[in-house]
């Protein structure tokens, strides 16, 4: 096993400690997420309040989008695959940035960690039932064509079904777009805009499948912005904390013939010789 796997190369962290650290973080997050906001009554009450706000803002598009998708069998299957397999995109983007764009890897990884830390208090404080549980007339498309059986409807399987606000599906897809945009923008700015299609498609998918509200998507945008700001603050704090204090400049040696150094004793003055001082200067006295 090479030592570079631990300490990294080209400015990137070592792969092995990164994998171990991220896996531990995701394990802890998954456990805490599963324990957050399990009160179904409070989650339903919050969902009803959110629906009222959306109606007042004329943003209640969930039912119409859901019925349209339910009428298209092929697109429904595509939507379920897209909804379930987006984790592959997260892993792929993280590996790609680590291997090909080491200069921005720490930045996007810090943003990912900040997202996980910021979203947990929201899930604990504001449990939210998704439209498929709390909005009358919604067809649970994921439950109809799910790749994982009844995982989306079994509320006893240890998963958190009441964490609709904000949408973590949209949040992760926004992070993927941000990471790819950050990596591509310096050299290929036009291509860097393409990854933002991913969260747009994910937003449409979670709305049409009955898993999230419009305001859930807006909450995911706020989450990413807050995570980016927190990651930048994190970078500044670590950079300032790890900076070494400036050392005073070394005293310049006196040139030959310029006289004895200041503060020398009378004996030094009497014994001082220009050639002897220049020899000392040549040896690098004073750290020259």
Q: Do 249 and 132 meet the contact criterion of CB atoms below 8 Å apart? A: no
Six-digit token pair at 83? Answer: 């909804």
pTM to 2 decimals? 0.78
Alpha helical stretches, state H, the chain: 4-7, 15-35, 40-57, 62-70, 73-84, 86-100, 102-125, 131-134, 141-145, 168-184, 197-208, 214-242, 266-271, 274-282
Which range is least confidently modeled, 11-20, 120-129, 236-245, 272-281?
272-281
Six-digit token pair at 183? Answer: 């990596």
Q: Do 70 and 76 meet the contact criterion of CB atoms below 8 Å apart? A: yes
Residue that wins the pLDDT comparison between 168 and 266: 168
Q: Using 50, 70 and 90 to split pLDDT, how confident is the model at 261?
A: low
**What is the spatial distance between Cα 132 and Cα 209, in angstroms, rounded to a whole number?**
8
Mean pLDDT of the chain: 83
**pLDDT of 6:** 46
Q: Which residue has the tokens 């680590």?
A: 98
Q: What pLDDT, in 10s, does the model give residues 81-138? A: 999 999 999 999 999 999 999 999 999 999 999 999 999 999 999 999 999 999 999 9
- Rg over alpha carbons for the chain, rounded to the nearest Å, is 30
Say what percent of the chain tops pLDDT 70.
76
Q: What integer is the mean pLDDT of 41-48?
A: 95
**What is the spatial distance between Cα 178 and Cα 107, in angstroms, rounded to a whole number?**
11
**pLDDT of 239:** 80
Identify the H or E element spanning 190. none
């Amino acid at each position: 096993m090479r030592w570079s796997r631990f300490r990294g190369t080209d400015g990137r962290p070592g792969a092995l400690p990164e994998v171990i650290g991220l896996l531990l973080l995701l394990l802890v997050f998954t456990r805490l997420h599963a324990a957050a906001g399990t009160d179904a009554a409070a989650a339903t009450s919050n969902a009803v309040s959110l629906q009222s706000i959306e109606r007042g803002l004329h943003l209640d598009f969930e039912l119409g989008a859901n019925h349209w998708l339910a009428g298209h069998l092929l697109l429904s299957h595509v939507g379920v695959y897209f909804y379930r397999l987006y984790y592959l995109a997260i892993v792929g983007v993280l590996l790609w940035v680590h291997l090909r764009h080491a200069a921005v890897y720490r930045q996007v990884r810090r943003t990912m960690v900040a997202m996980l830390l910021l979203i947990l208090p929201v899930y604990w404080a504001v449990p939210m039932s998704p439209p498929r549980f709390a909005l009358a007339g919604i067809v649970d498309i994921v439950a109809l064509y799910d790749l994982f059986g009844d995982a989306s409807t079994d509320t006893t399987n240890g998963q958190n079904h009441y964490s609709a606000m904000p949408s973590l599906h949209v949040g992760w897809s926004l992070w993927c777009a941000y990471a790819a945009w950050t990596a591509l923008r310096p050299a290929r700015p036009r291509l860097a805009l393409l990854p933002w299609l991913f969260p747009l498609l994910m937003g449409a998918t979670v709305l049409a499948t009955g898993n999230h509200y419009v305001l859930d998507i807006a909450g995911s945008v706020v989450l990413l912005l807050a995570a980016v700001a927190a990651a930048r603050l994190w970078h500044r704090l670590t950079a300032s904390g790890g900076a070494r204090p400036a050392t005073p400049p070394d005293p310049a040696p006196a040139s030959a013939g310029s006289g004895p150094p200041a503060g020398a004793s009378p004996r030094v003055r009497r014994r001082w010789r220009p050639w002897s001082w220049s020899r000392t200067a040549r040896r690098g006295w004073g750290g020259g």
